[in-house]
Amino acid sequence: MPRNPRKTKKPRQRKPYKHPIPSANDLIDFLTEAGKPLKADAILKAFGLKGQRMRSALVDKLYAMVRSGQILENRRGEYCLTAKLDLVTGTVSGHRDGFGFVIRDDGEPDDVYLSAREMRSLFHGDRVAIRVTGMDRRGRAEGELVDVLERGTRETAGQFIRERGIGLVIPDNPKISHRILIAKGEAGGAQHGQMVVVEILDYPTQVEQSTGRIVEIIGTPGEKGIATDIAIHSNAIPFKWPKTVLNEIEKYGGSVPAKAKQGRTDLRSVDLVTIDGADARDFDDAVFCERSSNGWRVLVAIADVSHYVEVGSGLDKEATRRGTSVYFPDRVVPMLPEILSNGLCSLNPKVDRLCMVCEMHVNSEGKVTRSTFFEGVMRSKARLTYSQVNDLLAGKSKSTVPKALHGSIRELHTLYKAFAKARGRRGAIEIDLPQTKFVLNDDGEIDRIEVVPRNDAHRLIEECMIAANVQAAKFLKRHRIPGLYRVHPKPDPDRFDELRLYLVSLGLKVAHPDHVQPRDFTKIIRQTADRPDANAIMMTMLRSLTHAEYSPTNIGHFGLALESYAHFTSPIRRYPDLLVHRAIRHIVRGGKPGKYDYSGRDMERLGTITSAHEKRAEDATREVEAWLKCQYMEQHLGDVFDGVVTGVTNFGVFVQITELMVDGLVHVTSLKNDYYQYDAGSQSLVGERTGRKYRLGDAMRVQVNRVDMETRRIDFQLADKQRR
């Protein structure tokens, strides 16, 4: 006789809920009691909530809980507990060799390994639910796929090829290892070898490959600007303005209307100036400084983007979707339309502009004793460059800075010195590695690679911006209003332990991972400043640090040695800064935190989104730079350069060419006359027979041996004659 089917316990009807929306804990308790997945409407009914407004608010709350890994939404749109099912949710990060990792939603630092078999039905960027099944042979947590929650790739760029009459697209993104079969009649006129954009029609399964259709032909490899076009599509960076946005911006003219200036502090007579690079196009920030009785009064005026980008507007939604401006070597994909980014929001000289101002009073020790935020209207007195300001500070006789501005700029320089001393006292990490700039020719290829010098003009602006950002973070905290902080966690103990072993092998004393402070890093940097391997040591230290991100939870900024930090100074190009402006504006205008447009849950969601968009921009620009470097180094095949070892692995050493800042690999198989073993502690390859060592920071003369444009890899081999 068959068993009676087990009955699922029906959740009892709740009494009408007293508060607008149940808390996360209430929802977790309810789903635990329910014992089965439920749709939002069932949850709404159980809590006695009615109306579209309540439904939208509940769905937002559930979405935030899904993003934080507390609950799971399956493909039927039902919600259940991840803990009860012993599941981990997260985002897939693919690898060119077919395997992948899941970056966990719950914030745990150790990613979960997915074998190539598990990755057969997955794309890079997919959100998934997995079950941890054990450890792989390398000691990493390994998982199996339970469900795909959300597909992360709908379109991608790649090369169209025909093999025996069958059309395929090989994705350019190295994190996507699938070849995409082009459905019959869906090639869109593409020719063999062309770079295209493909829309995914069917995602892969364990037994079938993905299919798609070509929706755009980008061009032929080698065409001007194609590297950037590919990176934009491969990383799904929005670059076309929707019609709603184009319609909205039609109302903006070329100047600030008189009505918009009313009720603001008039700063048009103040000697505010912008100081930026010579090729800058948008100007977020302006500064002014004067002596006070016990220090300085400094104004940091920031473009008031919040006046123009209204919450919930089409423009706001598109800015959220973009998250940040993306700066490629040949162009910029802006967060805001040009009429704002280069026009009304840009603090151009000699024209009226709206601004949000941080006024700070700083004592002689470089400590901000008092700060105020207010809305202003300003008129920049000059658009200055770092070079102009540095020439003035260096005492060059033919300064191009207007004489009327000399006093304020010299006070800014004196203020910077006080800020720098304060920075040193708190122990902020000072990693000052050389920055490079690509100078492109008319064909969009690298003509030369220049090292960008950093001088006191850069540093004084940097310190003023940091000071204003700190005051913005303190403002958010003081008024208990939801906002995004720029947080930088302490180093991961395992990563730091690897760094510690390496530094100890160099004879340097390092703090225990449990007690590491920013000043420990600074101490090592100062101790090794005069060593030939100083840059290699700094790069290794940098790699041991975690990435900064955006979060509504203020945990401080480890690298800057600050208890509170936010991004306030670049709202033209960063969405988190715009959110901080909105919070400050709400309070400045007399609003109450409880009446603000955003909740803490909103900020959790926006923190996740903006951090992901920042990484997307970094990945895209890195891909273009790697492409251009490979293209440039193809002209130097066989040439010999001096370099420094910047990384050591079991398969070889990475060498950076000193004069070009270009990296390549000397594979271990090209190191002749010995068998080399990797020593993790000393970050070196050691010859078994000869004892010869290749270690981090070693000088090495290399010959350019091979350039692979497809994988963006440059291979070196040891030159016949090494430096002595």
User: Which residues of the chain register pLDDT less than 50?
Assistant: 1-18, 724
Cα–Cα distance measured from residue 324 to residue 577, given in angstroms and rounded to the nearest whole number: 10
Question: In this predicted structure, what is the pLDDT of residue 431?
Answer: 83
Please state, in angstroms and rounded to a whole number, the distance separating the CA atoms of residues 328 and 228.
Answer: 7
Q: What is the pLDDT of residues 500-510, one digit of tens each?
A: 888 888 888 88
* Residue 245, pLDDT score: 96
Per-residue model confidence as pLDDT tens digits over 80-98 = 887 666 788 889 999 988 9
Please state which CATH number belongs to domain 637-718: 2.40.50.140
Cα–Cα distance measured from residue 642 to residue 661, given in angstroms and rounded to the nearest whole number: 11
The 10 Å Cβ neighbour count of residue 149 is 19
Distance between CA atoms of residues 74 and 22, nearest Å: 21
pLDDT tens, 598-608?
A: 998 899 989 98
CB distance 419 to 365 below 8 Å: no
pLDDT digits (tens, 9 = 90+) for 589-640: 999 998 999 998 899 989 989 999 999 999 999 999 999 999 999 999 999 9
For position 17, what pLDDT does the model report?
44
How many angstroms separate the CA atoms of 340 and 285, rounded?
14
The CA distance from 103 to 106, in Å, is 9
CATH code assigned to 86-150 = 2.40.50.140
**What pLDDT is recorded for position 397?**
75
Is the separation of the CB atoms in 337 and 241 below 8 Å?
Answer: yes
**What's the pLDDT at 536?**
86
CB contact set of 482 (below 8 Å; sequence gap of 6+): 552, 583, 593, 596, 598, 599, 600, 602, 603
For 155-221, CATH number out of 3.90.280.10, 3.30.360.10, 1.10.238.10, 2.40.50.700 equals 2.40.50.700
Tell me what pLDDT residue 315 has. 97
**Mean of pLDDT over the chain:** 90
Quote the CA–CA distance of 578 and 571 in Å, as a whole number: 5
Q: Report the topology of domain 24-83.
A: Arc Repressor Mutant, subunit A (1.10.10)
Question: What's the pLDDT score for residue 6?
Answer: 39
Strands of the sheet containing 295-303, edge to edge, are 265-266, 368-379, 352-363, 295-303, 285-292
Q: How far apart are CA 51 and CA 54, in angstroms?
A: 6
Report pLDDT for 75: 67
At 7 the pLDDT is 41
The confidence score (pLDDT) of residue 182 equals 95
pLDDT computed for residue 140 by the predictor: 82
